[in-house]
Amino acid sequence: MIHFFLLFFLSFSGVRSLGVNYGQVGDNLPSPDKVLELLTSLNISKVRIYDTNPQILTSFANSNTELIVTIENEMLTQLLDPQQALQWVVTHIKPYFPAVRITGIAVGNEIFTGNDTVLMANLVPAMMAIHEALGELGLGSYIHVSTPTSLAVLEESFPPSAGSFKGEVSSYISQFLQFLSRTKAPFWVNAYPYFAYKDNPDIISLDYALLNAMTYLVDPSTKLNYDNMLYAQVDAVIFGMARLGFDGIEVRVSETGWPSKGDVDEIGANSENAAIYNRNLLRRQLANEGTPLRPNTRLEVYLFALFNEDMKPGPTSERNYGLYQPDGTMAYNMGLSTSSASVSLSSSATKGPSTNEM
């Protein structure tokens, strides 16, 4: 059942920036055409996937859905060869564009917070090769190239004005920022206030982490007021870029969300908090809010995730970020119980994941 809450908030044309992450690490997920039906009924028109699944691309053709696709981490090394990069675009992008509204390519995921320095060194050259291949095929002005980065890449994140990148990756980050500045692509960040609260529940206010606007923190340097942690995290990234000499690069949130279930030691992971976080996020998106540092720039956000995915490894929370169960029922009560429409998702399910979310 499609929850009245989502229909109410997403049916307004003012929610122009809200997107959702459509992961596929499950053995019971609905088919892509059923997923598109669900997204369309919710008026969600921006989606990020973690591969270039041809079933999804084919199903999303001639829809109003803007799609960000992903090149998996293990593919980066071979894409250093310009001919291999061109062949990748010819195979995975060109046959579907423009019928599929591909607007971005995420090259890898959270590479700067891994331990593979070779992969870090190869990231920007691979991005450049993909960008040049897009240009060679006349697609460069339509599709941006970037990479989602974990907030853990920051050495300092509070107060936001103290935002700085970790020294051991700053040279890689500088090269990355040069690429973004030159190509006018956004900096994508995976930002989860949940993780900060889970690790420091005695220090961090739950209201602040849940975007409740009941706690206000003032940055002592800028005197800007922050009523939620997500905006503080985004502004910390902006200050971190400025410290490396880069201003004007847009920051977008590639992932954020709150788990509805967790292990005993995963403090705060429950359905009540998940409902509050996502409800507050939707309300702020409805208002087209920017951060305190950039109040006039609407913050683009992709919520994680559309479905609970039963094959994701790790703690229980990893399998419980979804708004929906695979059968199309809401994963938890968002606060209103009226249902105004229904979409059956259980009639056709994919068998096994086509990719791993990195």
Residues labelled as active-site residues: 110, 255
The first and second tokens of residue 236, run together, are 């910390």
What tokens appear for 69 in the block?
Answer: 């696709």
Contact 272, 335 (CB under 8 A): no
How far apart CA 118 and CA 126 sit, in angstroms, is: 12
How many CB atoms within 10 Å of residue 351?
A: 8
Locate tokens 């990231």: which residue? 123
* Alpha-carbon distance values, 292 to 1, 297, 343 (Å): 37, 10, 39
Sequential DSSP letters for 145-156: EE-EEEGGGEEE
3-state secondary structure of 354: coil
Count CB neighbours of 325 within 10 A: 16
Dmax (CA) of the chain: 56
How far, in whole angstroms, is CA 183 from its chain's centroid? 20
Nearest to 173 by CA among 133, 121, 231: 121
